[in-house]
Structure formats: structure tokens, C-alpha cells
Amino acid sequence: MRPISDLASDMGLDPATLEHYGPDKAKVPLNAFPNSEKKGKLIVITAITPTPAGEGKSTTAVGLTQGLAKIGKKPVLTIRQPALGPVFGHKGGGTGGGKSTVQPAVDINLHFTGDFHAIESAHNLLAAMVDNTVYRHRIENFDAAGVTWRRVTDAEDRALRTIMTGSGGKLNGPVREAGFDINAASELMAICALATSYEDLRKRISDIVVGWKNDGQTPVTANEIGGIGSIMALLRDAIKPNLVQTAEGQPTIVHMGPFGNIAHGCSSIIADQLAVNCGEYVITEAGFGADLGFEKFMDIKVRQGGPKPSAVVVVTTIRGLKWHGGVPMDDLETANTDAVQRGGENLKNALRIVALYGLPAVVAINRFPTDTPEEIAAVFTISKEAGASGVEEAKGFSNGGAGMTDLAHAVIKAANKKSEIKLLYEDNDDYFEKVETIAKSLYKAGDVKWGPMTRTTARRFTANKWNFPVCIAKTHLSISSDPKLKGAPSGHTLPIRELRILAGARQIVTLAGDIITLPGLPSKPNAWDIDLNDNGEITGILST
């Protein structure tokens, strides 16, 4: 690996300002950011609707960064930090694969620079202070029944989803039903991914709603609970972006990790702001498919001040299109051009979604050895007929940057096109209209079904003047709320079960269907395969 100081110099940073975490990773203080007059072009990596076969979005993002460097460009990559829960659970790591990885992959997938731990500590400190406020009756008409601030953990521990706290006597109160979420779903994680300065961070933390007074109409905020300074102290370093590198030595900023289906699923605004001042082309990744991660990238991250993208890459695989075309997992390696054509409806929908925002799209076919020339040709045809600016094979896994140069040229061509970004709705649009717009224009739903009390809750949020963007939490395995509906189903009903206010993150989380905010471990967790050998080397982490 290259010395981290060399990477900083390439980016126009003063190496002396870096805060080193060993020889191969460092934090960049906010006051060390350069301010270039000419900003780099931002490229967003999204994908078709995810499948159990995996699409390789992160591998493509890393490979494209390496490919741009191969053709003489100055790229910077910005990606999310993997969460420990999925690393030890089912999904595995999030640092790419094959010859297109971010290094040091083991460190990034585990403790890294401690950002997740800091966020978890700050989140649970606020939870303790909320319960202490109730216990000591510090806020009039605010009792245990009104507390909504849950705790978080980094373990996929289903036993903690719903718990009772405070039992065992009066000294332990208040007794109440509570629960845990995964730390990647913490509002503080979303806040740190969206804040643009320490001042902005403080304001957002102060605005967090931790519960409601007995009238059910008056919110209780973190500012009223107190201790904002202590939370800020815990997050002092977490908000600084982390500098590492690709396997081929390109600068990479790994920062924050909100989940893509229950949160907004993007790396931080701060990371993108740093990157566009330091590179010609900035590659960033949005969580899950175009209907989730890309929509949230635009309607939440860009809306709240993130740099505007110039182009979008839609990652697809032959295997993924076969899955959406109705082929079982066991048969995905068998040639089936007809299934690719059927599953291509999902790719067309992803391209249609990108076009709604006024951006050009390039399709990247993440290559696998079993892909046939006929299947690949079918994807080229589907992509071009659906209006893609370009379509190329992506061979980053097997060949690194050398296998991504064609895609790099296509992305540059798309990014140089004139585009006019359009967000899906206006800030002051009615909340119900925002949800209906997303459901019908992106998910191709025929109707929205509002569950008990959801309309009342929405009106309460409106009364508090929370005209925030909508963050719909739904399955990532379908454009609908039903994971069994593959391809591009239309006319289905989107069920709205619950609304949660994230006033600090300035969004309304809208749970569509049965959404679990704390995953459980699978029957064969990755934790069984991870180990430490006699040389002190960690082995068995997927994607390392």
C-alpha cells in the first residue's frame, strides 16, 4: 500500500494535518479541507433491485475508481463504512472484492477508527439521560409511556428487538417497553452522514425528538434533556472523514454507514464535499437499488446540501436479471437469454428512475464467468432501448482497473453531458402527496394503504412544521413492499404501517410493510468462519 501521506498530497491536502490511525489510515480534520474553485464531477453508483445472488455495487465502485486512474484521470472514491452486524451475520464485508477492494479491508470491516462505537455510545448516553429525566420528573407531563428513543447495538441480536427496561424495583425505573435497533439505523448515524459542520451537528442533535408529552402533541427534544455538549464530545472525531485507499492506490474516503432500506443509505455529505475539492471524478455509492438508495441520495442527501451528481452508473448482472426473470437460485449459471429479457424489465425501471431526476445513466454489467455472449448482447440491447447513455462490461473483480477502462470512458462521456437535476417533490408538498409520488412514480404502485393512526401521526408531524423529505423503509428485494414480487411489478398496494420522526436528520421515516430495524443472525452466520491465526492475522471476513 502507498503511504497515506502520498495520498493526501495527491488530493491537495497537507499531510501534516492528518490524524493517523496507524500507517494506512487517517482522519482528515474539517479545518484541513481544501476549497478548489473547480469541483470534481460526482458519479453515483446504484443498481437493479438486489437479489440473493448479489450485484457487486461496491466492487464496481472501487473498480471504476481504479479504471479512471488507468486512463489518466484523478479519481476519489467515497463509500460507507460496513456495519459489524452484517459482517458477522449474513451479508459480510463492504470493501469490494477480487482485485477491486478498499484497503486495509480487515480494519475497515471491523473497528476501523471507532466511528460506529462513538455513535453507539452517544446514542445510548442520550437514552440513559432520557430515562433519568423521566425517573427524576424533570420535564412536566413527560413520563415513561411517552419515550420513543430506543437504544442501539452493533450485534444482530433478535432478542433485543423488544424488551422491558427498569424492572426490579423502584430504584431501577422507569419501567417501560423498549427495544434496540441496529446502530446503522441510529438517527445519530444519519445526522453524522448529513451534517456539514460542528455547528450543524450541534443543531441537529438538539432537534432530535426523544418522546412526547402526555398530550400526545408536544415533542420532547434532546435539547430539553440536556447533555448536548457531552454527545458532541463523543462525536468529535467520528464526524471527521477517514482516508484509506483502493488496492491500486487511489484515495478513498470511508465515512458513516446508515442502512439503505431503513435509513437513507449514503456515505456522508462531508466526505463528498472533501472529495469534489480533491479529485476530477468522485465515485460514490448509494445503498441498494435505484428505488431505494438512489432515490434517497437525491431526495434526502442532495436536498440537504450534498454535492449534485453529474451521472449515474446502474450496476446489473446477468444472474440478477435471470433472478428477476423467474429463474431459481440453483439455475442462475445456466444460459437463459429469455429470462434475461424478462428480468430486463427491472433494469429498465432503474434507468427510468434515474431519468426522472434528469441525469444520464451508464449500465455496468458486472461480469461473471458463466455469462454468455448472447446474454450480454441482450443487456446491451435492453439498456440502449431504455435510454442508457452507455453500457459496458465491468471486469473489476477479475482484472482490477484494467478491466474497467471501457466503463470509465463511458462514464466520463455521460458526466460531460448537460443535465438538469430534478428532485421528485418540493419541500413544502403535503406529506401524503410525497409518499404517493414515491409509491406511484418509483415503485409503480397502484395505491397506498394507510395503517391505523398513520394519518393522525402525519398530521401531528405537519402541525410541528416538519416539512422534511420522506425516507421510506421497505424491503430491498422488490420495487414493491413484497419481496416475492420480482422484476418490475405494477398496480400493487404500498402499505404504510408506521411513521417515525427524525427531526435531527430532517426526514420522516415511513415504514412500508413489516420492517425489522434490528436484524437477527442467520442459521449459518459469518461469525463461524472469522478467526485469528497464530500470526495475529484475522481471516474469514467476506470481501477481504
Which of the four pLDDT bands, split at 50, 70 and 90, describes residue 544?
Answer: low
Query: Are 289 and 344 within one domain?
Result: yes
Residues 213, 325 share a domain: no
Average pLDDT over residues 455-482: 96
Cell numbers given for 442: 418509483
Going from the C-alpha of 220 to that of each of 210, 368, 454, 492, 519, the distances in angstroms are: 6, 52, 20, 37, 28
pLDDT in tens, 370-388: 999 999 999 999 999 999 9
Kindly state the percentage of the chain with pLDDT values over 90. Answer: 93
pLDDT value for 440: 97
Backbone dihedral angles phi then psi of residue 168, each to the nearest 5 degrees: 105, 10
Mean pLDDT of the chain: 96
**What does the block give as the cell for 213?**
408529552
Phi, psi (degrees; rounded to nearest 5) at 219: -75, 150
522 preceded by cis ω (within 30°)? no
pLDDT in tens, 327-373: 999 999 999 999 999 999 999 999 999 999 999 999 999 999 999 99
Query: Considering just the CA atoms, what is the radius of gyration of the chain in Å?
Result: 23
Region 187-212: mean pLDDT is: 98
Helix (H) or strand (E) holding 87: helix 84-88
Q: What is the span of the domain harbouring residue 442?
A: 434-512
Note whether residue 489 is domain-resident: yes
With respect to residue 86, please indicate whether it lies within any of the assigned structural domains: yes
Laid out side by side, the sheet with 507-512 consists of 447-450, 493-502, 507-512, 470-473
264-275: pLDDT as tens digits: 999 999 999 999
| The pLDDT of residue 92 is above 90 | no
Is-above-0.85 flag for pTM?
A: yes
Partners of 282 in beta bridges: 42, 76
Helices (H), 357-470: 373-385, 396-399, 405-415, 431-441, 454-463
Residue 504 maps to a domain: yes
**Per-residue three-class SS string for 171-216:** HHCCCEEECEEEHHHCHHHHHHHHCCCHHHHHHHHHHCEEEECCCC
Q: Identify whether 420 is part of a domain.
A: no
- Return the CATH number at 484: 3.10.410.10
Average confidence (pLDDT) over 415-437: 96
Number of domains the chain contains? 3
Is 31 among the domain residues? no
530 part of a folded domain:
no
Asked if 186 and 209 sit in the same domain, the reply is yes
pLDDT of residue 170: 80
